[in-house]
């Protein structure tokens, strides 16, 4: 193989490797608005924890149970809009308990 062909092969390989992260970014995060309530619950139950879009540019991290939180955190019920309901109990959010942790943050 000539030096020019070798350089071209290396350049093409580098382009292919650099395209993988770009493709992953282009996929974006799953949106609850594209799922039914049951699908959103199932998605989270299968993964345990996930960052989900909840409309526009809003998103949050949701968990199946407390085992996906930091040791000092507790869970709080998380309601999100889905394709079939405006308030679906999808799972939980991990929060640091404070004096008023029962109130909204």
Q: pLDDT tens-digit profile of 19-61?
A: 444 433 445 789 999 999 999 999 999 999 999 999 989 999 9
Q: pLDDT tens-digit profile of 63-93?
A: 999 999 999 999 999 999 999 999 999 999 9
Q: What is the pTM of this model?
A: 0.68
DSSP codes, 19-82 = HHHHHHHHH---BGGGS-HHHHHHHHHHHSEEEEEEETTEEEEEESSGGGS-TT-EEEEEEE--
């Amino acid at each position: 193989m000539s030096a020019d062909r070798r350089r071209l092969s290396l350049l093409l390989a580098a382009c292919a490797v650099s395209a993988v992260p770009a493709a992953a970014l282009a996929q974006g995060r799953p949106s609850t608005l594209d799922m039914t309530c049951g699908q959103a619950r199932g998605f989270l139950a299968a993964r345990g924890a996930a960052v989900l879009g909840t409309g526009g540019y809003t998103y949050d991290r949701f968990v199946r149970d407390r085992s996906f939180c930091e040791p000092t955190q507790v869970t709080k019920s998380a309601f999100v809009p889905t394709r079939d309901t405006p308030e679906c109990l999808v799972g939980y959010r991990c929060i640091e308990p404070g004096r008023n942790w029962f109130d909204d943050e």
